[in-house]
Amino acid sequence: MDEKADKLSAFILERCLWQFHSRSWDREENINGILGVVTNLLLNQKDKISTETLMEKYFYADGKVLTDEFKEKFPWLEDIDAEKKKEIMEDVKKKITEIAVDKSRNEELRVPFY
């Protein structure tokens, strides 16, 4: 499973800028919001996705594009059962958060005056 999460994480890090906002809480909000949408779309649970607020619409828009790219580039996602998809996506969230937030050397992320 770890190898699959690594591949998806590497794809996100190469192609997506939303995990690199200027504050740690922004980064975490984007990571959780967008990857939450991706997870729901991969599980065919579109009914669990809300698009009432502007942020939810933003998460959905980026999540939809990323899901389509995942399905195109990683066709093995279609062959995995729902529980494994959830596990993989949780691992992806953890990896992206670790890289973009927890282990970031950008001290500006933690400035409390933003």
Residue 1 · residue 87 · CB < 8 Å: yes
Distance CA 8, CA 20 (A): 17
Angle at 107 between CA 104 and CA 111, to 5 degrees: 125
- Residue 85 has what pLDDT? 97
Distance CA 10, CA 74 (A): 12
Tokens of 53: 């607020």
Distance CA 43, CA 50 (A): 15
- Residue 114 has what pLDDT? 64
Tokens of 68: 């389509």
* pLDDT tens by residue, 50-103: 999 999 999 999 999 999 999 999 999 999 999 999 999 999 999 999 999 888
* pLDDT tens by residue, 3-23: 999 999 999 999 998 777 788
